[in-house]
Amino acid sequence: MSSLREWLLCPECGRELEADGGVLLCSSGHRFEVGRRGYAALVGGRSSLVRSDPASVLDDIDRRWAGERLSRVVDAVVAELPAGRELRLLDCGGDLGHLLAAGRAARGSLDAVYVSASPSAIVRAMKRSGAAGLLADPAREWPVRDGAADVVLCAFAEHRPAEFHRVLTPGGVVVFVAAEADVAALDDDVYPWFEHDQTRTVPAAEGVVSVVRYRRRRRPLSW
């Protein structure tokens, strides 16, 4: 839990969290549980967007990523991870930890958090990858410290470029996995916060998939 606590802030007031058994506490008195399955549930109040996915949906996702169907995509994502020191990765994608598991196998050591609004998805990703898990409301800022991550992974999932920019360290990168046909729109969406760095195009069972790396701008562009 100590490593996970170093990533997180209170979603209600933005203050630091301290661990007390199976609870995370801030100095304002807000309390959040770390469930018996090990993930931090940092959701303030109720949200209709925070709910578990059915097992059948998760099974379908696992089948897509397992074996040869997306193996070249996984390899391309791992190749886009920056070299050097131990990386801090935040995965918000729809890959259920397959990319983090491959990254850890290739790099040996990663400090990683898998964030989702689905408790069932988080449990699968944690089990597969060894990452910490964070349950968060997608309609709000993530309860993650500014500059906490070196890399954000976003595979076939909603992208939040302003949030990605906020949680990345200066010089950090975001790696997207998207259908090739969607890359032009993605470029437009992220342009104020990120500059294009590199694209790898990979044939896959679903069609042509692009693995695109963008580098964080020092300051977002404004008009």
Percent of the chain with pLDDT over 90: 73
Convert the pLDDT of each residue in 189-216 to its tens digit.
Answer: 999 999 999 999 998 877 899 999 999 9
Tell which wins on pLDDT, 84 or 191.
191
**Domain architecture of the chain: domains with CATH:** 38-216 (3.40.50.150)
Using the predicted structure, report yes or no on whether residue 105 has a pLDDT greater than 70: yes
Using the predicted structure, report yes or no on whether residue 2 has a pLDDT greater than 80: no
Q: What is the pLDDT of residue 223?
A: 62
One-letter identity of residue 17: L
How far apart are alpha carbons 170 and 167 in whole angstroms? 10
pTM here is 0.93
CA 179 to each of CA 4, 22, 110, 183, 184: distance values in angstroms, whole numbers, following the listed order: 32, 40, 27, 7, 10
How far apart are alpha carbons 168 and 5 in whole angstroms? 17
How far apart are alpha carbons 163 and 27 in whole angstroms? 25
Q: What is the pLDDT of residue 6?
A: 84
The H-assigned helical ranges of the chain are 2-5, 55-65, 71-79, 98-107, 119-129, 161-167, 183-190
The H-assigned helical ranges of 130-179 are 161-167
